[in-house]
Amino acid sequence: MDVGGVLLVVVVVTALSFDFTNGVHDTANAMATSIATGALRPKVAVGLSAVLNFAGAFLSLKVAATIATGIVETGAITLTVVFAGLIGGLAWNLLTWYFGIPSSSSHALIGGVVGATLIAAGASAVKGKELVSHVLIPAVLAPLTAIVVATLGTFLVYVITRRVPEGIRSRGFRLGQIGSASLVSLAHGTNDAQKTMGVITLALITGGVIRPDAGVPFWVIVASATSISLGTYLGGWRVIRTLGKGLTEIETPQGFAAESSSAAVIFSSSHFGFPLSTTQVCAGSVIGAGLGKRLAEVRWGVAARMGVAWLITLPAAALVGALAWASANGIGGSLGVLTVFCVSAMLSGGLYLLSRRAPVNAGNVNDKWTAKERSA
Amino acid sequence: MNDWLDLAALGRVLVASLVAGAGLVAVFSLALVGLSAGKVIGRAGAGVCLLVVVAGVVLGLHVMLQK
């Protein structure tokens, strides 16, 4: 296999690995509240989400064969930049998964690509204004919008159903919550699996494997859908725990209002061309569900930790992306890319082993939020 | 449209999100009130409310597939 071939294979494998971590990380967005309220058993919830993510990946195939569209000059994007950008996104996804912090996979990927582009092609290749208007400002608006919608929704739910017997109320909202969480899962599969399809298609075009006007190869669709749904099924229990138990104690009506708010904001923002991060919307909805119920407690320490993570997503992923590009370029050729890939794989394995010392899984994800976790 | 922020799009997102995210949630809650009433009129009202919710969901799916 020639140098270009090796690079192409490594980029495709890295893109599918990123897709996998995207699934692991974002299971929480759709299912954390359903698991926390007991609307679905943990394994059933992640299984349902995995199936819907898989189906969602096939629903819409208008994939843009670009990455970080409009934020970096397309001419500056080479296969090595894409690879380094993916490594930056992967590293941030895994680190935030380890600490159980909901964080946007899209922003991590954009950060990685921006970092790699900065060092590969210079600051002029990065469009700073677009970065602020397309990523940073929406990052502030996403949770705020969701908080407003979920607070109002939760308030209305409790006021309207205050005289409804607990049995009907609980059963009704449980069913409603499963429905709205399913919509979030479906939307996630449609939006996020396409990012990977776009990256792989771009790599195949750059590598001369397919023509620029060719559609997405079927195997790319199947591989991306399988990868994201496998990650979803394994369940990012650490993130699920933070979103379902850490931010606030959620009851079934709150869970229903939170998931409905998330689905509504995600669908609306996508339709009106004002894309907001699914993760930030879902986290905002959970906070809103806490605010909308009288006397419910929102753990602002956990929310603040999440906010800080969102602020440093871009620079942190950019730093790793830049380091990955510099290392791959410094060693040179396919050996450079392979070396960075192997080192990244080893570090990821090490983080996984570290996580086994205090595992979070389907058995303990709903345990009471501890004082230790409060102070972490 | 502001150079940094598409205020018109943001406004539309906020209104649509409130209608779908809080409005449909309220309609669904009304359906539960109707179901708990135990009367025919209550059940009929609940049926209408649930139809509105289903229509909203179908519209949402349609919008998503049109992308």
What are A264's two structure tokens?
């509504």
Answer yes or no: do A145 and B17 touch at CB < 8 A: yes
pLDDT at A222: 94
* Rg over CA atoms, chain A: 20
B32–A contact, CB cutoff 8 A:
yes
CB < 8 Å to A269, chain B: 13, 17
Q: Which residues of B touch A277 (CB under 8 A)?
A: none
The pLDDT tens digits for B5-14 are 788 888 999 9
Distance between CA atoms of A143 and A266, rounded to whole angstroms? 11
Q: Which of A145, A262, A271 minimises the CB distance to B63?
A: A271
Q: Are B20 and B60 in contact (CB under 8 A)?
A: yes
Chain B residues closer than 8 Å to A60 by CB:
64-65, 67
Residues A50/B57, Cβ–Cβ less than 8 Å? no
Q: Give how far A137 is from chain B: nearest CA, Å.
A: 8
User: Is A271 in contact with B35 (Cβ distance < 8 A)?
Assistant: no
- A160 and B35: CB-CB below 8 Å? no
pLDDT at A355: 93
pLDDT for position A375: 64
Quick one: CA torsion of A46, A85, A331, A11, rounded to 10 degrees? Answer: 60
Per the document, the length of chain B is 67
Domain that holds residue B54: 24-67
**Residue spans of chain A under pLDDT 50:** 63, 65
Contacts of B17 in chain A (CB under 8 A): 145-146, 149, 261, 264-265, 268-269
The verdict on A268 touching B (C-beta cutoff 8 Å) is yes
Residue B24 has pLDDT above 50, yes or no: yes
Question: What distance in Å separates the CA atoms of residue A9 and residue A174, rounded to the nearest whole number?
Answer: 44
Number of domains composing chain B:
1
SS3 labels along A1-70: CCHHHHHHHHHHHHHHHHHHHHHHHHHHHHHHHHHHHCCCCHHHHHHHHHHHHHHHHHHCCCCCCCCCCC
- Residue A248 phi/psi, 5° resolution? -165, 160
| CB contact A162 to B (< 8 Å) | no
Q: In sequence order, which residues have a C-beta less than 8 Å from that of residue A150 and are 6 or more positions away?
A: A257, A258, A261, A262, A284, A285, A286, A287, A288, A289, A291, A292, B21
CB-closest option in A62, A164, A270 to B32: A164
Q: Where are the domains of chain A?
A: 3-137+177-247+313-375
Is residue B5 included in any domain, yes or no? no
For residue A324, which of A33, A87, A133, A138 has the smallest C-alpha distance?
A87
What local confidence, expressed as pLDDT, does residue A65 receive? Answer: 47
Mean pLDDT of chain A: 89
**A184 interfacial to chain B (CB closer than 8 Å):** no
Instruction: Please state at what angle helix A333-355 crosses helix A79-98, rounded to 10 degrees.
Output: 10
| Contact criterion met (CB < 8 Å) for A183 and B60 | yes
Tell whether B15 is covered by a domain.
Answer: no
d(CA A267, CA B15): 12
Model confidence band, residue B67 (pLDDT cutoffs 50, 70, 90): low
Please tell me the distance from the alpha carbon of residue A353 to that of residue A92, in angstroms, as a whole number: 17
Residue of A nearest to B64 (CA): A267
B58 Cβ under 8 Å from any chain A Cβ: no
Can you list the alpha helix ranges (DSSP code H) found in B1-67? 7-17, 24-37, 40-65
Per-residue pLDDT at A351: 95
Q: Which two tokens stand for residue A159?
A: 């006021």
- Could you tell me if B55 lies within 8 Å of chain A, comparing CB atoms? no
Tell me the two tokens of residue A335: 């050996």
Q: What is the ipTM of this complex?
A: 0.93
Q: How far apart are alpha carbons A312 and A88 in whole angstroms? A: 13
**Span A155-178, pLDDT tens digits:** 999 999 999 999 999 999 999 999
pLDDT score of B2 more than 50: yes
What pLDDT sits at residue A135? Answer: 84
Cβ contacts of A288 on chain B, cutoff 8 Å: none
Chain B interface includes A173 (CB < 8 A): yes
Mutation target among A159, A274, A277 for the B interface, most CBs of B within 10 A? A274
- pLDDT band at residue B63 using 50, 70 and 90 as cut-offs: confident
Cβ pair B64:A60 closer than 8 A? yes
Best residue in A152, A170, A272, A280 for a mutation probing chain B (most B CBs within 10 Å): A272
In a domain, B58, yes or no: yes
A-chain CB neighbours of B38 within 8 Å are none
Q: Does A263 touch chain B (CB under 8 A)?
A: yes
